[in-house]
Amino acid sequence: MNAGDDAPRMTFEQALAALDGVVRRLEAGDVGLEEAIGLFEEGRRHLAACRERLAAAQQRIEELTAEDGPSAPPPF
Amino acid sequence: MKTVGARRVWSVTEVTGALARRLEGIPQLWIEAEIHSIGRRGGHVYFTLVDDHQISGTMRAVVWDRLPLPPRDGDLVHVRGDLEFWAARTSIRLRAERIEHAGLGLLLAEVAALRARLEAEGLFAPARKRPLPMLPRRIGLVTSARGAARDDFLRCAWARFPADVLLHDVPVQGPASPDAVARAIAALDAHPQVDVIVVTRGGGPLEDLMGFNSEVVCRAIAAATTPIVSAVGHERDTTLCDLAADLRVSTPTAAAEAVVPDHTALSQRLDGLESTLGRDLGRVRARAEERCGARAAALAAGLRAVHRRSEARLTGTSARLAPALSRLPASRARLVDATADRLGRAGPARVAEAGARLERAAAVLEVLSPRRTLRRGYAILRDDDGRPVTTTAAARAGQELTAELDDGRVRATVTGVER
C-alpha cells in the first residue's frame, strides 16, 4: 500500500474550505498588515493545492477483472 | 337409485356421494395459482385460487398469521393441501396447510425477509450514510466492462470533469454476480486513491437484479469505509444495494453527476477566490500605507524642526563665543583657540552627520509615503476638510471629493455608494 505517499495532508474540500476561511477573515477587515500578508500567503498555498488537484485528473480509465484480487499490482 | 319406467333415477345425495368417493383418491397436492378474494371469517382465512378456472380454499387463521410474508390479492403462490368435497353444497375446497410465494413473488418475499433482517440490524440507517467527497482522486466503478451503464457513466462523468476511473469488471447478473460485486467493492475500498465507489447496472427483470439484493453485497457495502453510490435498475426498482449505499440514484448518468464536480464551475470558483484574495490584501496594504504615510509626514517635519533648532543654537553660541575669547589673557586665548578649533571642526561635522541621518530617514519615509502608492495608480480621496475618505460610511451621494493623484488633484462627485 502506498497510502502515505499518495494521501495529501488535506482533501480538496478541506483546502477549499480553508481558502474560504482565509478570504472571510481578510474581508472582515480587522486584520493588521502583517497578519494580512500571512493570510494571503496561506490562501495562496491552499489555492495552489486545489489547482494541483484539479490538474492531476487526466481522464484515465483502468479496468480490472473479477480475477484480480486486492493483491494485484497497483494500476497506473 | 330407483327405476321409473325405462329410466334410472339418482337422488342428489347419491350423486354427491358418488363424487365424494371419486375425490377420495386424490392425494395431498401442491397447486400453483394466483390467490384472490382473501377474507377472514371465524378461525379461518378464505381465498380463491385462480388461473383460467378457480378453486376456493381455506386455511386456519393461526397458520396463516404465522406465514413469513402473508400473500396479498393477486400474488402467485404455491399452496399445499387436501381437496375437500362438501357434499351438501356440491362444492370443492382446498384445505391449505402451507402457502409459499412463487415466481416473482418468491423473489420479492426473499428480498422482503432479508430487508427486514438487515433493517433490524441498522444496516440501512441514515446515520450510517457518509458524505461524498467533492473531488475524488479516483473513482472506483463496479459494473460490467461491456455494459451500457459503463458507457453512460463515463460519458457523463468526462463531460463534466477529466476524472480518473478504476473500473472493476463484474458480472451484473447470474449466480456469480453477488460474490464478484462484493469482492470488487472490497478491493476498491482498499485502494488508497479511490475516494468514492459507484456500483451500477441498467434496469432488468427482478431475477436479473437479485445479485444486488444479496446479503453479501449489502455486507460489503456496510463494511467499506469509502462512500458508495448505488445506481441499480430503473427508478422503480429499489434494491437492497441501493438501501445500503451512502447515496442512491436511479441511473448511471445521475451517479456520474453525483460523484464528479463540474470542472468549469470549480475553476471559476478558484479564480474568483484568487482575485478576492489579492483585492483583500491590496486593501489592507493601502490602509496600512496610508496610516504610515500620515505618521511619516509628521516625523519628517519633527526631524527638520530639530535640525533647524540645532543649527540656530550652534550659530548663536559661536557668535557669543568670539567676543568672550577676545577678553581672555593670551595664554588662555591659545587654549581657547585650540578649543575653538576643535569646536569649529566638530560643529560642521556633527551638522553633516545629522544631515546624512536626515537624508536616510527621508529615504525610508519616501518608501513608506503614500506618494509611491499614488504613483502605482492609487488615489487618496479627501473630503472638503481634507480628511481622507477610507470607508463608504464617510461618503454620501452628491458629495464633492478630491482625489489626490501622484501629479495633482482631481475634483470628483460621488454618484453612488455601494456597501
Among B45-54, B280-289, B355-364, whose mean pLDDT is lowest? Answer: B355-364
Residue type at position B192 = P
Q: Nearest CB to B277: which of A3, A26, A56? A: A26
The answer to whether the Cβ–Cβ distance between A13 and B165 falls below 8 Å is no
Residue with cell 477587515: A29
Give the DSSP H or E segment for B150: helix B148-160
For residues B358-376, one letter each, b for 16 or more C-beta atoms within 10 angstroms of the residue's C-beta and e for the rest, the string is: eeeeeeebeebbbeebbee
Instruction: Assess whether pLDDT exceeds 60 at residue B262.
Output: yes
Instruction: Assess whether pLDDT exceeds 50 at residue A71.
Output: no
Question: Is residue B79 classed as helix, strand or coil in its secondary structure?
Answer: strand
> What mean pLDDT value characterizes chain B?
85
**How open is the CA angle B272-B277-B278, to the nearest 5 degrees?**
105
Q: What does the pLDDT read at residue B319?
A: 73
Query: Is B281 or B347 the better-scoring residue by pLDDT?
Result: B281
Q: What does the pLDDT read at residue B128?
A: 92
Among B33-42, B45-54, B321-330, whose mean pLDDT is lowest? Answer: B321-330
Query: For chain A, what is the total number of helices (H) and then of strands (E)?
Result: 3, 1
Q: What does the pLDDT read at residue B366?
A: 56
The answer to whether the Cβ–Cβ distance between B192 and A20 falls below 8 Å is no
Say how far apart CA B276 and CA B103 lie, in whole Å.
64
Contact B173, B180 (CB under 8 A): no
Q: What does the pLDDT read at residue B77?
A: 92
Confidence label for B170 from pLDDT (cuts 50, 70 and 90): very high
What is the average pLDDT across B147-175? Answer: 93
Q: pLDDT tens, B55-72?
A: 999 999 999 999 877 899
Beta-carbon pairs below 8 A across chains A and B: 120
- Cβ neighbours around B414 below 10 Å, total: 15
The answer to whether the Cβ–Cβ distance between B270 and A57 falls below 8 Å is no
Q: Which residues does chain B have within 8 Å of residue A22's beta carbon, measured at their own beta carbons?
A: 277
Q: Which three cell numbers stand for residue B391?
A: 470607508
The answer to whether the Cβ–Cβ distance between A36 and B165 falls below 8 Å is no
What is the average pLDDT across B12-19? Answer: 91
Strand partners, B409: B404
Contact B199, B231 (CB under 8 A): yes
For A65, residues 6+ apart whose C-beta sits below 8 A from its C-beta are B145, B168, B169
Q: What does the pLDDT read at residue A3?
A: 39
Say how far apart CA A8 and CA B136 lie, in whole Å.
12
Q: pLDDT tens, A20-68?
A: 888 888 887 677 777 888 888 888 888 888 888 888 888 888 988 755 5
- Cβ neighbours around B138 below 10 Å, total: 23
Give the DSSP H or E segment for B112: helix B104-121
For chain A, say whether B274 makes contact (Cβ under 8 Å).
Answer: yes
Q: What are the CA-CA distances from residue B404 to residues B81, B228, B378, B409 (Å)?
A: 104, 61, 9, 5
Q: What does the pLDDT read at residue B203?
A: 86
The answer to whether the Cβ–Cβ distance between B273 and A33 falls below 8 Å is no
Q: What does the pLDDT read at residue B362?
A: 57
For B232, residues 6+ apart whose C-beta sits below 8 A from its C-beta are B199, B200, B201, B209, B212, B239, B241, B242
Q: Nearest CB to A27: which of B135, B183, B280? A: B280
The answer to whether the Cβ–Cβ distance between A66 and B154 falls below 8 Å is no
Residue with cell 493570510: A39
Confidence label for B331 from pLDDT (cuts 50, 70 and 90): low
Contact B178, B204 (CB under 8 A): no
Query: Is B371 or B39 the better-scoring residue by pLDDT?
Result: B39
Q: pLDDT tens, B185-211?
A: 999 999 999 999 999 998 888 888 999
Query: Is B252 or A65 the better-scoring residue by pLDDT?
Result: B252
Say how far apart CA B218 and CA B172 lie, in whole Å.
15
Residue type at position B30 = W
What is the average pLDDT across B314-321? Answer: 73
Confidence label for A4 from pLDDT (cuts 50, 70 and 90): very low
The answer to whether the Cβ–Cβ distance between A57 and B285 falls below 8 Å is no
Helix axes A33-56, A12-28, angle to 10 degrees: 150
Q: Which residues does chain A have within 8 Å of residue B165's beta carbon, measured at their own beta carbons?
A: 60-62
Nearest residue of chain B to residue A19 (CA atoms): B273
Give the DSSP H or E segment for B222: helix B215-223
Q: Which residues does chain B have within 8 Å of residue A1's beta carbon, measured at their own beta carbons?
A: 190, 192
The answer to whether the Cβ–Cβ distance between B184 and A59 falls below 8 Å is no
Task: Choose the mutation target among A63, A68, A71 for the interface with B, i.e. most B CBs under 10 Å.
Answer: A63
For chain A, say whether B163 makes contact (Cβ under 8 Å).
Answer: yes
For B269, residues 6+ apart whose C-beta sits below 8 A from its C-beta are A16
Say how far apart CA B47 and CA B31 lie, in whole Å.
14
Query: Is A50 or B393 the better-scoring residue by pLDDT?
Result: A50
Q: How close, in Å, is residue A62 to chain B by CA atoms? A: 5
For chain A, say whether B283 makes contact (Cβ under 8 Å).
Answer: yes
Instruction: Assess whether pLDDT exceeds 80 at residue B326.
Output: no
For chain A, say whether B37 makes contact (Cβ under 8 Å).
Answer: no
Instruction: Assess whether pLDDT exceeds 80 at residue B239.
Output: yes
The answer to whether the Cβ–Cβ distance between A26 and B165 falls below 8 Å is no
What is the average pLDDT across B147-164? Answer: 93
Q: How close, in Å, is residue A30 to chain B by CA atoms? A: 9
The answer to whether the Cβ–Cβ distance between A54 and B267 falls below 8 Å is yes
Q: What does the pLDDT read at residue B220?
A: 97
Nearest residue of chain A to residue B186 (CA atoms): A70
What is the average pLDDT across B327-331? Answer: 60
Q: What does the pLDDT read at residue B371?
A: 62
The answer to whether the Cβ–Cβ distance between A51 and B169 falls below 8 Å is no
Q: What does the pLDDT read at residue A53?
A: 86
Say how far apart CA B163 and CA B107 lie, in whole Å.
38
Q: What does the pLDDT read at residue A70?
A: 46
The answer to whether the Cβ–Cβ distance between A66 and B180 falls below 8 Å is yes
The answer to whether the Cβ–Cβ distance between A59 and B145 falls below 8 Å is no
Q: Which residues does chain A have within 8 Å of residue B134's beta carbon, measured at their own beta carbons?
A: 11-13, 16
Q: What does the pLDDT read at residue B408?
A: 82
Say how far apart CA A33 and CA B289 lie, in whole Å.
9
Q: H helices of B231-380, where?
A: 240-244, 252-259, 263-326, 330-368, 370-375
